[in-house]
Amino acid sequence: MTLEAPASASADPAPRAEPSRALETTIRTAGLVIAMLATVLSAVLELVLTPLRIGGVPIGVAVPAAVVGNLAICWFAVTTVGRRWAVGPPWAVWTLIMFAAAGLRTPEGDYLISGDNWVALVMILVGSLTFAVYTYRLILKPPPVTKQ
């Protein structure tokens, strides 16, 4: 009488199925779309936070919100898309929203961001620099080694 090992205890596990190319493309596209939506939401939230004051003094909470939000968007875009260029579209959308907010007038004749609002001006500078620094660090990082 011989004892054989059960099939589940064999030395060679079942090979893992590779994800299909269509599924991978769908996930990457969805990641970029979500990053773009997050960019619009982040930009609008930062614009809403710029006039926030306590006792008549601007508190500047929009500046750290821009840094944290834009870093999260950069990380998410690069991670889900899997390509370094994924930082570009959110950066462009964020910048265009800020240009529009600084340059367009409301029907009443007001600007969303006035020239004397230091919080908004610093938020635009620091927010764009956040994208730039993240991109620069991606450029300095060597590409991952892929198995073939």
What DSSP string describes 16-53? PPPPPHHHHHHHHHHHHHHHHHHHHHHHHHHHHHTT-E
3-class SS of residue 58: strand
Provide the pLDDT for residue 15: 65
Q: Considering only CA atoms, which of 73, 46, 71 is closest in space to residue 60?
A: 46
Distance CA 121, CA 110 (A): 16
pLDDT band of 147, cuts 50, 70, 90: low
- The pTM (predicted TM-score) of the whole model is 0.79
* Average pLDDT for the chain: 87
Contact 67, 126 (CB under 8 A): yes
pLDDT tens-digit series, residues 72-105: 999 999 999 989 999 999 999 999 999 998 888 8
* Kind plus residue range of the DSSP H or E element containing 57: strand 57-58
